Amino acid sequence: MAEHEIETIVERRESIAGIPTLELDDAAGEVVIIDQTRLPGEVVLEHLRTREEAFRAIQRLEVRGAPAIGVFAAMALYLDARHWLEAHPTAASEDVWERLLETRAYLDSSRPTAVNLSWATRRMLTAVATDPTCSACTPLDPELMVDGLAREARAIRDEDVASCRAIGEHGLSLIADGFGVLTHCNAGRLCAVEYGTATAPIYLAKEHGMALRAYCDETRPLLQGARLTALELMAAGVDTTLLCDHMSNSLMATGAVDAIFVGADRIAANGDTANKIGTSMLALAAAEHGVPFYVCAPTSTFDATCATGADIPIEMRDPAEVTELHYAKRMAPAGVKVYNPAFDVTPARNIAAIVTEKGVLRPPFERSIAQALGIPTR
């Protein structure tokens, strides 16, 4: 189905308060998401049923953030199998399995850097294979497969909530009442089911009665910090200040920033971390000013197959995001070449600690990451 032919049900709300980032409506056979491309100007909920709609939602950043797209892809994979089996009630288990493999590859191709996406879809397939340790084995009965996919999608969703909450609790040990905390992009509740990753310690501090100052980089070119993080932190009653990305060095020089918390889209075995473009420059400024730089991510964001950050694939995006997307009219000369990577890699040497649901990992990261993942170390 061509993109212009996709029709999704939308509804509009006045506020994001109380609305989940994404939610599985099993009765309707839909995933309901907040379309994050419309924020902060309007709150639009999309009701998605097909794999084409799911692919578009991920690729166009209607749903975004490493934890969220993992949960979303799990839900989308389940619904696609369910709807396909409803349309083909006499299909054999091998036919459903082929559909699953095809849909998994299709969804995985929507964004290459965030490893949570392929992690979640691989886990979904493994859950319904005859051999639970094998993601390419003969599957169960078709109806049992769909039931198993539904259970696994809900489990991934529930684990994301618990994981982000645990990241917040562990991150809370790194801050104190009155701290100024700087963050980049959106690693808040809009990047997950609840709490988020880098903002989870801020939300937990709020719950514990601590008063923090939050500083949000605007995060060019897609402005996730300005459009999303500032919006959700203000909605939560957090003292929030917005700044352009290149102003963070100046802000740190004033002593206003006590700690920096950022999220991650993929973390290599040595601790090198891919996150939204601009993160590596922020880490360099933090090192210059002696401000601790923390990465917050669930262990599902680690990729032991990437030895270093050089092995992490970096997504290149549409030049129009830089030249015109968020402007009333084009702000660059027509025909100019544009360099627009979605992510950069922060070397492990510039990271003070990685905060996970299993605890705070410290250097040397090769050892602490391996221990967190249960990988034998020498």
> Could you say which DSSP state residue 135 is in?
T
**pLDDT in single tens digits along all 378 residues of the chain:** 344 344 567 888 888 888 999 999 999 999 999 999 999 999 999 999 999 999 999 999 999 999 999 999 999 999 999 999 999 999 998 999 999 999 999 999 999 888 999 999 999 999 998 655 555 555 578 999 999 999 999 999 999 999 999 999 999 999 999 999 999 999 999 999 999 999 999 999 999 999 999 999 999 999 999 999 999 999 999 999 999 999 999 999 999 999 999 999 999 999 999 999 999 999 999 999 999 999 999 999 999 999 999 999 999 999 999 999 999 999 999 999 999 999 999 999 999 999 999 999 999 999 999 999 999 876
Inside any domain, residue 169: no
Residues 119 and 205 in one domain: no
CATH number of the structural domain spanning residue 127 = 1.20.120.420
pTM score of the predicted model = 0.92
Inside any domain, residue 72: yes
Inside any domain, residue 96: yes
Q: Identify the domain containing residue 345 by its residue range.
A: 174-373
Residues 220 and 118 in one domain: no
Inside any domain, residue 114: yes
Q: Which of 143, 163, 183 is the last residue before a domain boundary? A: 163
Catalytic residue among 265, 272, 303, 344: 265
Residues 103 and 225 in one domain: no
Residue 139: phi, psi to the nearest 5? -85, 180
Inside any domain, residue 378: no
Residues 124 and 212 in one domain: no
Q: Which of 107, 134, 163 is the last residue before a domain boundary? A: 163
Inside any domain, residue 64: yes
Residues 75 and 185 in one domain: no
Cis geometry, peptide bond prior to residue 221 (ω within 30 degrees of 0) = yes
Residues 147 and 203 in one domain: no
Residue 44 carries which side chain, given as an amino acid letter? V
How many domains are there within the chain? 2
CATH number of the structural domain spanning residue 296 = 3.40.50.10470
Give 87-90 contacts, CB < 8 A, sequence gap 24+.
none
Inside any domain, residue 116: yes
Residues 179 and 157 in one domain: no
Residues 131 and 200 in one domain: no
Sheet holding 9-13, edge to edge: 9-13, 43-48, 30-34, 22-25
Residues 141 and 260 in one domain: no
Residues 68 and 197 in one domain: no
Inside any domain, residue 279: yes
**Is residue 265 annotated as part of the catalytic site, yes or no?**
yes
- Residue 108 host element (H or E): helix 93-108
Residues 110 and 209 in one domain: no
Residues 159 and 178 in one domain: no
* Separation of alpha carbons 322 and 330, rounded Å: 10
Give 263-306 pLDDT, tens digit per residue.
999 999 999 999 999 999 999 999 999 999 999 999 999 999 99
To the nearest 10 degrees (0 to 180), the angle between helices 51-59 and 93-108 is: 20
